[in-house]
Structure 1
């Protein structure tokens, strides 16, 4: 069923992407970069201008706000959530968004660096965008659609709901988070203050997609203690920890269990950094699988590789430590099937077929689900995340807004 919305989503999106909000994993502050609060302050101003008087930015860089209920009956409080930071993987400074009107299937050459070409053959979802308007960056930076498309969509939906009090819905909480891209997006969220029963992150890709399952994730560290010796007198003595680290990496499977050899529901072991000197070296890994049993199997492979190599070096030793990062949110969401069912209904009402999908990664919703806020992920229309080839369709963003408005009414109707 069609809605008539005077959309603000594009103008908001173009405004937001020009604010540099890259997070920084090497920082121990929250937010990890103070500039994320620049966007947070703007969002609060815009929310207050809509008439949402309780909108505020807290000391940790989180934005909280409430769209009041328009019905008297008891309706679960739902939360719409997106993150304000952009990935450290490509520059987010001085973003110049470009609108490619009436896209006709051509490759998109980005003017600030013509070597940066968004090729239609490399981006199969572009074939669904004929006649639509595509927003890209200029070739020198990422765009920031991940996740400023979600921010703009939630803001546009809030604007429409506030200006149309005849639309029946329960209380809706808005949560905008920092530092999602570095895995710390909900570290300081105040669940009690948020006061929501169920949530939705708006941070997905293809139009119509609904994701209720993520990887489960662990981090792993192998620490190698070698035997140091003067290189001029090292024969028979030196056991170089850096070389041992390299040998452990070479012992891991080459044709499976890595990001570059897996897809779908296949998990992996992924080394992300190596540091060391002859005496001591460390290897950092991320380990991913959709089941905890899969994680345990991958960790056993890693431990086996470490033990097999270190056995060849009698003077050295190695330790493997595992730390939990997040878990598959499906375990929680399956206990509340109405969350996904209502989202599918809202997608249908917005004129799309729901596409059930799993995420080969995690979202704020992964951790929120285990913090007491069951929270699947719904599409924002963002594509080619974390790269200079990032793009989003204006029409997909507008469909996301329409879907969020419908989702608000579905919860009221079904309660």
Structure 2
């Protein structure tokens, strides 16, 4: 089916990667940065040029579009979703994507900062891509394959389906979201407008990865209130909220319950930001576990640590506030096994071996699943996320395009 198809996924990705779309975790607006809409407006323009007439960008930064059904069967409406924003962990300004043709299997030294090396030893998946065409950034920014690879793959699959009407499918909805990287990706998504029954996020990593389980997640904030005094007359008066916050962080386990010491299905308590003054200091945490019930246990542990430290500082006080972020999509997808099964079959049709995996993190799909759209996550090829070492294989992206098309075809066949 794809023998004579001229893929557009690589050129689309190179174009999208150069648009700065970083979201801002400290912003209270929605979207958190207006520049995310720069890419969204381009996507609407390209969708309209394909002949997808209802493509639109709403005031919140969401792109909605429909590839109409071309079959008489009653097929469930399915949605493909990716996010346009990139992480704030590394600069996304002035991205210069570079294609390394027929990668030789060795280290890749990035030209704009030769201290940034993508080591084949440290990145064994990259080493396995010998002979592929690899896209990287230039060394001073992230690449943005998370998740512009997914965006480009959905766009190329849409282009294929529009230009190949012989491939029968039901109605397909496209959703591009802002602010996924700050955990707000579907906060203002209009599910009634979307009108889909099942969905797939294109936001996974290595070729064949198929994820129908993710961390359950809460955010936590400890606010420490100290006592301020002039440092020249502070003896027996000053109680530093900054130092107490430091003690709380230092009291967390060194060999467990942290991202740097856990793997597989182990959860963690992770301080991600400290800010404040002697009088008031805030510590932000993310709390993660595959078992939702374990979140409460982690939060109870954190409270005990806080109380134990506070007991050593008379006059100080602190509060712990927990906010629900997202939950394990498995709790929903277990009731809709066909959604994941069809994804696995679509991969096999694309000559890709499905790799059932769990996400030590979250995607829009985890939130969407609990909003009524069961939504596992499919590979895009994006690797070494949120860093200057980020890379993606063009061949992996092409396989993702095929998987999307075969999925659309499968839902029609099974209807």
TM-score normalised by the chain length of structure 2? 0.97
Deviation at 1:317, TM superposition (A): 1.8
Aligned to 1:66, the other structure's residue is in SS state strand
Deviation at 1:296, TM superposition (A): 1.3
Deviation at 1:229, TM superposition (A): 3.1
Aligned to 1:188: 188
Aligned to 1:82: 82
- On the 8 A contact 1:20/1:93 being kept in 2, the answer is yes
Aligned to 2:50: 50
- On the 8 A contact 2:77/2:198 being kept in 1, the answer is yes
CA gap of 1:252–1:185, structure 2 versus 1, over 3 A, is: same
Question: 2:225 matched to 1:225?
Answer: yes
Aligned to 2:135, the other structure's residue is in SS state strand
Deviation at 1:233, TM superposition (A): 3.2
Deviation at 1:301, TM superposition (A): 1.3
Aligned to 2:357: 357
CA gap of 1:264–1:4, structure 2 versus 1, over 3 A, is: farther
Question: 2:107 matched to 1:107?
Answer: yes
Aligned to 1:150: 150
1:9-408 matches, cutoff 5 A: 9-408=9-408
Inter-partner Cα distance in structure 2 for 1:331 and 1:319? 31
Inter-partner Cα distance in structure 2 for 1:86 and 1:93? 11
Aligned to 1:122, the other structure's residue is in SS state coil
- On the 8 A contact 1:2/1:351 being kept in 2, the answer is no
| Cα deviations by residue, 1:223-242 (Å, 9 ceiling, x for unpaired) | 22223333333333332222
Deviation at 1:2, TM superposition (A): 6.4
Deviation at 1:126, TM superposition (A): 1.4
Inter-partner Cα distance in structure 1 for 2:126 and 2:367? 32
| Cα deviations by residue, 1:42-62 (Å, 9 ceiling, x for unpaired) | 111111111100011111111
Deviation at 1:267, TM superposition (A): 0.7
Aligned to 1:115, the other structure's residue is in SS state coil
Aligned to 1:121, the other structure's residue is in SS state coil
Inter-partner Cα distance in structure 2 for 1:367 and 1:3? 37
| Cα deviations by residue, 1:34-77 (Å, 9 ceiling, x for unpaired) | 22111111111111111100011111111110011111111110
Aligned residue pair count: 415
TM-score normalised by the chain length of structure 1? 0.97
- On the 8 A contact 1:2/1:350 being kept in 2, the answer is no
Tell me which moved more, 323-332 or 16-25: 16-25
Q: Unaligned regions of 5+ residues in structure 2, if any? A: none
| Cα deviations by residue, 1:158-191 (Å, 9 ceiling, x for unpaired) | 1110111111111100000111111111111110
Inter-partner Cα distance in structure 2 for 1:30 and 1:236? 46
| Cα deviations by residue, 1:226-269 (Å, 9 ceiling, x for unpaired) | 23333333333332222111111121111110111111111111
Inter-partner Cα distance in structure 1 for 2:276 and 2:44? 45
- On the 8 A contact 1:132/1:394 being kept in 2, the answer is yes
Inter-partner Cα distance in structure 1 for 2:222 and 2:371? 29
Aligned to 2:217, the other structure's residue is in SS state strand
Tell me which moved more, 218-227 or 61-70: 218-227
Inter-partner Cα distance in structure 2 for 1:400 and 1:194? 23
Inter-partner Cα distance in structure 1 for 2:86 and 2:273? 21
Deviation at 1:4, TM superposition (A): 4.6
Inter-partner Cα distance in structure 1 for 2:358 and 2:150? 19
Inter-partner Cα distance in structure 1 for 2:4 and 2:296? 51
- On the 8 A contact 1:2/1:349 being kept in 2, the answer is no
Inter-partner Cα distance in structure 1 for 2:36 and 2:370? 25
Inter-partner Cα distance in structure 1 for 2:162 and 2:318? 59
Inter-partner Cα distance in structure 1 for 2:154 and 2:339? 18
- On the 8 A contact 1:142/1:386 being kept in 2, the answer is yes
Deviation at 1:3, TM superposition (A): 5.6
Inter-partner Cα distance in structure 1 for 2:272 and 2:137? 27
Deviation at 1:133, TM superposition (A): 0.5
